[in-house]
Amino acid sequence: MIRQSWWKLLTFILLMYVCTMGFLVDIPSLDGRLQHSIRNLFFHVPMWIVMMSLFGASVFYAVQYLRTNNIEYDLYSVEFVRTGCVFALLGLVTGMIWARYQWGIAWSGDPKQNGAALAILIYLAYFVLRGAFTDMDKRSRISAVYNIFAFCMLFPTIWILPRLKESLHPGGQGSEGNPALNPGDTTLAMKTVMIPAFIGWTLLGVWIATLRIRLRILIEKKHAHE
C-alpha cells in the first residue's frame, strides 16, 4: 500500500512546499514591471504543463484504443481529456489574473490568449462530438481520431502562431523574452520553487485523472450488473 501511494505523498509535499515558498521566496527586482506578480509563475505556467501532459496521455490511450478496440482505453482517454480541460481553464483564469495586473485588463485579445481559448474550445468540442453518437464503438473510434487532431492543434494555437505575432505576452514578437526561462531574470531561488511546481502540479493532475478513471470503472461495473 505504501509503495503504491508514495507518489501521492510526494505530490502533497511538493504542493505544500510550492504554495508556501511561492509566496516567501525572494524574487528579482526587474525594473518594476513584474514585481510580486511574478509569483504567479509558480501557479500559472504549471497549469499549461499539466494540460499538455494530460492531453498527451489521453492521445496515448486514444491510439491504444484504435489499435486494440479495448473500451477501457477509451475510458482512460476521456478522463485524461476531462481533467486536462480543467487545468486548461485554470491556466486561462490564472493568466487573466496576471494580465489584469500587468496589462491593466484581464482580456486584451492578445494572440496567446486567443490561441489558448481556441485550443480549449477545440477540446470542448470533443465532448460535444462524443455526445452526438449513441453507438458506443462508433463514438469511441471517432472521438479517438478527433482527440489526436485536437492534440496536434495545440502546437499551432498555443506554441507556434502566438510567437509569430506582436504580443504583450512574453515570448512573442515585440516582447522582451520569457522571464520564466530567461536566466537573467529567473534566480536560482525561484528555480527551487519552479521545478517542484511543475512536478507537483503534474502529479496532482494525474492523481485526479486516475481517481476519475477508478470512479468511472466502478460505475460501469455497477451498470453492467443491473
Check residue 173 and report its DSSP letter.
B
Q: Which range, of 7-16, 142-151, 163-172, averages the lowest pLDDT?
A: 163-172
| First-to-last C-alpha distance (Å) of the chain | 31
Looking at the chain, list the stretches that DSSP marks H as alpha helix, in order from N- to C-terminal side. Answer: 2-21, 44-68, 71-102, 111-131, 136-154, 188-225
pLDDT band at 155 (very low <50, low <70, confident <90, very high): very high
Average the pLDDT over 74-92 and give the result.
Answer: 96
Q: At what angle do helices 71-102 and 136-154 cross, to 10 degrees?
A: 30
Please say whether the beta carbons of 99 and 106 come within 8 A.
yes
Average the pLDDT over 143-154 and give the result.
Answer: 96
What is the SS3 assignment for 139? helix
pLDDT band at 111 (very low <50, low <70, confident <90, very high): confident
The strand pairing partners of 173, in sequence order, are 166
Q: Which range, of 36-45, 69-78, 132-141, 165-174, averages the lowest pLDDT?
A: 165-174
Report the predicted TM-score, pTM, of the whole model to 2 decimal places: 0.89
CA contacts within 13 A on the Cβ side of 188? 0
Please say whether the beta carbons of 45 and 180 come within 8 A.
yes
Q: Which range, of 96-110, 156-170, 179-193, averages the lowest pLDDT?
A: 179-193
Return the higher-pLDDT residue of 167 and 17: 17
Q: Which three cell numbers stand for residue 68?
A: 486494440
Cα 210 from Cα 50, distance rounded (Å): 14
The chain-wide mean pLDDT, for the chain, equals: 87
Q: Which three cell numbers stand for residue 152?
A: 496536434
Angle at 97 between CA 94 and CA 100, to 5 degrees: 150
Considering the chain, what percentage of its residues have pLDDT values greater than 90?
61
Look at residues 203, 68, 216, 82 and name the one whose alpha carbon lies nearest to residue 150: 82
User: What's residue 1's pLDDT?
Assistant: 45
What is the SS3 assignment for 166? strand
pLDDT digits (tens, 9 = 90+) for 181-211: 555 556 788 889 999 999 999 999 999 999 9
CB atoms within 10 A of CB 224: 7
With a CB cutoff of 8 Å and minimum separation 6, the contacts of 128 are: none
pLDDT band at 226 (very low <50, low <70, confident <90, very high): low
pLDDT band at 224 (very low <50, low <70, confident <90, very high): low
pLDDT digits (tens, 9 = 90+) for 46-60: 999 999 999 999 999
pLDDT digits (tens, 9 = 90+) for 18-71: 999 999 988 776 545 556 778 888 999 999 999 999 999 999 999 999 999 999
